[in-house]
Amino acid sequence: MVKVNGDFLDIAGKTLLEYLESTNYDTRRIAIEKNGEILPKEKYGKTKLEDGDIIEIVSFVGGG
């Protein structure tokens, strides 16, 4: 299982890009951290998700 933004998902084996394409994330507007390290956009396609990976996907929201 891979933990994405707090939820456990059965997506081990896919690349990060494959996972993202199966969702509604706007890839122009997100940044991703894998196991605490920032993952540059160009690596999404080469990054294979493994059991135990922790992924954080963030974007901007309103704030002060």
Partner 1 sequence: MTDDKLILGGHEFNSRFILGSGKYSLNLIEAAVRDAGAEIITLAVRRANTQKGENILDYIPKGITLLPNTSGARNADEAVRIARLARELGCGDFVKIEIMRDSKYLLPDNYETVKATEILAKEGFVVMPYMYPDLNIARDLVSAGAACVMPLAAPIGSNKGLATKEFIQILIDEIPLPVIVDAGIGKPSEACEAMEMGAAAIMANTALATAGNLPLMASAMKLAIEAGRKAYLAKPGRVLSRGASASDPLTGFLRE
Binding site for partner 1 (CB under 8 A): 5-6, 23-26, 29-33, 36, 38, 40, 56-64
Q: Which is nearer to partner 1, 5 or 46 (CB)?
A: 5
From residue 15, how far is each of 51, 58, 61, 62, 64 by CA, in Å? Answer: 12, 18, 27, 30, 35
What's the min distance (Å) between Cβ of 21 and partner 1?
12
CA distance linking residue 10 with residue 15, whole number of Å = 12
Provide, rounded to whole angstroms, the least separation between the CB of residue 32 and partner 1: 8
**Nearest to partner 1 of 1, 31 (CB atom):** 31
DSSP letter assigned to residue 39: E
